[in-house]
Amino acid sequence: MAAACTGSDSSTSSAPEPGPSSASTEPAATDVAGTPIDNTEARAGGDATVFVAGRNAFGQPIDSLTREERRAFAVGNNFFNDNWVTAPASTEGRDGLGPMFNAQSCSSCHEFDGRGAPPLAADDPERGLLLRLSVIAPDGSALPDPVYGGQLQDRAINGVPVEGRIVIERTEVHGTYADGTPYTLLAPTYTIEDLGYGPLAADIAVSPRIAPAVFGVGLLEAVPDDALLALADPDDADGDGISGRVNRVLDPSGDLVIGRFGWKANVATVEQQTASAFHGDIGISSRLHPVQDCTDTQAECAAAIDGGEPELDDAKLERVTFYTRTLAVPARRDVGDPDTDAGAAVFDELGCSSCHRPEMRTGPAAIAATSNQTIRPYTDLLLHDMGPDLADERPDGEATGSEWRTAPLWGIGLIDDVNDHTRLLHDGRARNAEEAILWHGGEAADAQNRFLQLDAAARGQLLKFLDSL
Amino acid sequence: MVATLVAACGDDDDTGTAATDTAGTSASSASSASSAPTGTEPEAAGPTDDELLAVATTYADLVHAGYEAAIASATEMKTAIEAFVADPTDATLGAAKDAWLASRDDYGPTEAFRFYDGPIDNPTDGPEGQINAWPMDEAYVDYVEGDATAGIVSDTAGYPDITVDVLVEANEQGGETNISTGWHAIEFLLWGQDLSPDGPGERPLADYTTDANAERRATYLQLATQLLIDDLNSVAEQWAPDAAYRTEFLADPAVAVQRLLRGIGALSRGELAGERMAVAYETKDQEDEHSCFSDNTAADVTNNARGAEIVYLAEFPGIDGPSPSDLVAAVDPALDEALRAQLATSVELTSGFPATFETMIAAPEGDPANEALLEAIVSIEDQGDMIAEAAAALGLEITLEV
């Protein structure tokens, strides 16, 4: 375990560099050694699967896009990747950054369409971690900080004070497997220094959020609401200790709808998620978020020149949304490998698959390749209580302060290839999949406890299986 | 097999880290004892290792020569800029602009050497973002219409001294790059904002003579120019004979050829046809063109298209050796012929544009100027797909996204 942690940490400095692009056509029914390959298992995204590993594994378009769709994908990719700049600029379609912001582009947090990581050293650039700010109202709902708003923006354009700087302290948490093997987790605490607008609310709660990988969201969006409701068991009627709930959130028109994106399933659609991130993270307004994200006390922010009303027009919002919807899912690797297959059985036996559901079926969708597909995302898209150690105490929609949406596991074995790290969970505290399992509590406490009872060989098989996803 | 290529690519690494360690890490994470074939030999009908090595070696020579040519003309630009700063007149400003335009003709083709995490754009320390970042955050650099005191040039309190360190640091503010240096920063400082629908920017000469910040602006211009040359040198050095990266690049000839094809395939499909042309075609944002200050975008496009052709044919002054085209011709002559024709068509279409890039963007659908742009996009999309086919014919797989 200690060795595993060391390996994970040092990998950030020695920067393993997988190939920039390793594509392959779909394997035949048997590989060169004659082992049968189960393509159903490998085709994690159904017809929206690509057989690509390496740096660009998360950034591929679905194969079957038409020439025009492929061009729309390219346009969306461009607005996902390119930096926004300070207004006014000659590039009128790309100005309006901030006034306060966390990032200049989508891709600076979702690098190569992948997953962010927390800063590991004090002077490390922040690569996709942000803090939500909330004050819990008497009725239990989360309100924004009256001065700083609902999110700490740790950067600003020239002339506008920065809100503050995230400081992370990490405390070691020690534990032991049943076989006597010790392990060490790192428990982060977050403080905000160099506050630009005076003190935060006295009872402020900070909720760290890591940028997740973005491929496959078009498929998850195409899973019918009914399918999620069928998986839900809010009162644990079946008595298995697992009580998945759908989150219900207000959509922009004020209707109560089922949420499925975000760490607490607090956003219903890819379009809303895209517009929210543009607004909160980059400071770019759109039809869904027309007003700049400045509070009444942030005069310089309010006075700054904007980049148009809105800064991101509907056509561009549509293209970026189309882009993320049509990012294909990378195929599973090593299906049929004895250790990996044994690990898949362990995954079931421990009860991981009660929430990380292997299979779902999409319904009709506007994009043909995402319609009526059998997909293997390893999630139920439902909320589960994950216990006090992971709780951020921020309610969101119907999610409580200790509930989280089951994170999809597809592609987790490729994060290291794409993003040069293996950090997991909502704030990237887990240095690898093993630590992520160990952090599980609440409804997952029994499964976590069963993991602790495994011997080293079975643990290794389980991790190997996860690495094949 | 996925596993083969991932393992094979595992030794892609910048100089200075332990190659064996890195390769081992990738191989072990991507393959398993039962399913990983060993080696990277293409199928029997494909080229031999010696043939691949000869092509990869010619390519490495070509890349080095390409960057050396870019450095030579960037150095001429520097001389012209120094002459302008020493004696700012319309004539010396014009000469500096001409030198920038000429230098772009040498830099543009080198963009075919991108997109495989090589020296120019590896995610760890590749300087591409510092050399050629776009869009240009002009209000971060100097005054703009509507904000007369914008930018580092105007901000005497925030930036009392303008130095190379200041520029580099400002460029990486908050851990990001792509703000304030490189070709387009120099272009902006020479031409100024492009405020007209059909012409380049018209920065007044007074910006370098009587303006209060004239001296600071001149300093910025000179430092950005020097930084560009330094960055180009840092890339070129890694391709010099016996340089560590070059040696590593050539260590596995099949992977080397896979990379050079990935470079021109991704340049064609994802970058040029997609990012640089389809985006402008679709958004119709007149300023959604990369060299908007100088209105040199059409030439930039042609230079990129030439880059793809230069690599595929291995045709560059002073370079002599077998080309990727030779490899493809040996296994699929018809495909090679079609690809060569497509590359030529793309260069022909882009160099024969009937109007300036911004006019073509703005023209309504169906207008001949707009149609010409679309025709070039389709040609370059097709050439990208054909490059992927050519790679597959050699037993190599590449992706085309950027």
Q: What is the largest CA-CA distance in chain A?
A: 69
Return left, alpha or beta for A313; rule: phi > 0 is left, psi -120 to 50 is alpha, else beta: beta
Residue A125 has a pLDDT of 65
Asked whether the beta carbons of B359 and B293 are under 8 A apart, the reply is: no
Beta bridge partners of A136: A142
Count CA atoms within 13 Å of residue B279 on its CB side: 28
Helix axes of A338-350 and A445-453: crossing angle, nearest 10 degrees: 130
* Residue B392 or residue A13, greater confidence: B392
Question: Is A121 at the interface with chain B, CB within 8 A?
Answer: no
Q: DSSP string covering B354-382, please?
A: SS-HHHHHHSPTTSHHHHHHHHHHHHHHH
Which candidate, A284, A288, A330, places its Cα nearest to that of A307?
A: A284
A:308-337 residues touching chain B, CB 8 A cutoff: 315-316, 319, 331, 333-334, 336-337
Residue B78 has a pLDDT of 98
The whole-chain average pLDDT of chain B stands at: 87
The nearest alpha carbon in chain B to A468 belongs to B30
Return left, alpha or beta for A279; rule: phi > 0 is left, psi -120 to 50 is alpha, else beta: alpha
All residues of chain B having their beta carbon less than 8 Å from the beta carbon of residue A88 are: 139, 144-147
Residue to mutate among A8, A11, A14, A17, with most B CBs inside 10 A, is: A17
**Per-residue pLDDT for chain A (469 aa), expressed as one digit of tens each?**
333 333 333 333 333 333 444 565 565 555 545 555 558 899 999 999 999 988 999 999 999 999 999 999 999 999 999 889 888 887 888 889 999 999 999 998 999 999 999 988 776 766 799 999 999 999 888 999 999 999 999 999 888 999 999 999 999 999 999 999 999 999 999 999 999 999 999 999 999 999 999 999 999 999 999 999 999 999 988 888 898 999 999 988 899 999 999 999 999 999 999 999 999 999 999 999 999 889 999 999 999 988 888 999 999 999 999 999 999 999 999 999 999 999 999 999 999 999 999 999 999 998 998 999 999 999 999 999 999 999 998 999 999 999 999 999 999 999 999 999 999 999 999 999 999 999 999 999 999 999 999 999 999 999 999 999 9
Q: How close does chain B come to A77, measured CA to CA in Å?
A: 8
**Interatomic CA distance for residues A337 and B113, integer angstroms:** 38
Which candidate, B192, B169, B80, B183, places its Cα nearest to that of B132?
A: B183
All residues of chain B having their beta carbon less than 8 Å from the beta carbon of residue A11 are: 25
Asked whether the beta carbons of A144 and A134 are under 8 A apart, the reply is: yes
* Residue B322 or residue A88, greater confidence: B322
Return the number of other C-beta atoms located less than 10 Å from residue A359's C-beta: 12
All residues of chain B having their beta carbon less than 8 Å from the beta carbon of residue A433 are: none
Is this complex scored with an ipTM above 0.85?
no
Residue to mutate among B34, B114, B271, with most A CBs inside 10 A, is: B34
**B302-to-B108, B180, B344, B378 alpha-carbon distances in Å:** 8, 25, 11, 15
**Interatomic CA distance for residues A360 and A371, integer angstroms:** 12
Q: How close does chain B come to A243, measured CA to CA in Å?
A: 35
All residues of chain B having their beta carbon less than 8 Å from the beta carbon of residue A154 are: 174
Q: DSSP string covering A56-81, please?
A: TTTSPBPTT--HHHHHHHHHHHHHHH
Asked whether the beta carbons of A446 and A241 are under 8 A apart, the reply is: yes
Residue B133 has a pLDDT of 83
Residue to mutate among B137, B140, B147, with most A CBs inside 10 A, is: B137
All residues of chain A having their beta carbon less than 8 Å from the beta carbon of residue B282 are: 71-72, 75, 315, 319
**Interatomic CA distance for residues A231 and B308, integer angstroms:** 52
Which candidate, B96, B123, B16, B109, places its Cα nearest to that of B68?
A: B109
**Interatomic CA distance for residues B346 and B273, integer angstroms:** 10
Question: Is A303 at the interface with chain B, CB within 8 A?
Answer: no
Question: Is A90 at the interface with chain B, CB within 8 A?
Answer: yes
**Interatomic CA distance for residues B128 and B12, integer angstroms:** 18
The first and second tokens of residue B287, run together, are 């300023």
Helices (H) and strands (E) in chain B, counts: 18, 0
Which candidate, A207, A8, A168, A122, places its Cα nearest to that of B175?
A: A122
Residue A12 has a pLDDT of 32
All residues of chain A having their beta carbon less than 8 Å from the beta carbon of residue B201 are: 90
Token match 């046809």: residue? B273
Judged by CB atoms closer than 8 Å, whether chains meet at A75 and B279 is answered as yes
Q: How many CB pairs under 8 A join A and B?
A: 245
Judged by CB atoms closer than 8 Å, whether chains meet at A23 and B399 is answered as yes
**Interatomic CA distance for residues A245 and A229, integer angstroms:** 8
All residues of chain B having their beta carbon less than 8 Å from the beta carbon of residue A305 are: 146-147
First to last CA, chain A: 21
Which candidate, A368, A371, A282, places its Cα nearest to that of A320?
A: A282
All residues of chain A having their beta carbon less than 8 Å from the beta carbon of residue B275 are: 74, 77-78, 81-82
**A44-to-A55, A196, A212 alpha-carbon distances in Å:** 18, 46, 18
Asked whether the beta carbons of B103 and B190 are under 8 A apart, the reply is: no
Strand runs labelled E in A260-340: 329-330
Question: Is A92 at the interface with chain B, CB within 8 A?
Answer: yes
Question: Is B111 at the interface with chain A, CB within 8 A?
Answer: no
All residues of chain B having their beta carbon less than 8 Å from the beta carbon of residue A71 are: 274, 278, 282, 377, 381
B:165-184 residues touching chain A, CB 8 A cutoff: 172-176, 178-179
Judged by CB atoms closer than 8 Å, whether chains meet at B37 and A33 is answered as yes
Count CA atoms within 13 Å of residue B284 on its CB side: 8
**Interatomic CA distance for residues A169 and A106, integer angstroms:** 27
Q: What is the CA radius of gyration of chain A?
A: 22
Judged by CB atoms closer than 8 Å, whether chains meet at B124 and A86 is answered as no
The nearest alpha carbon in chain A to B249 belongs to A19
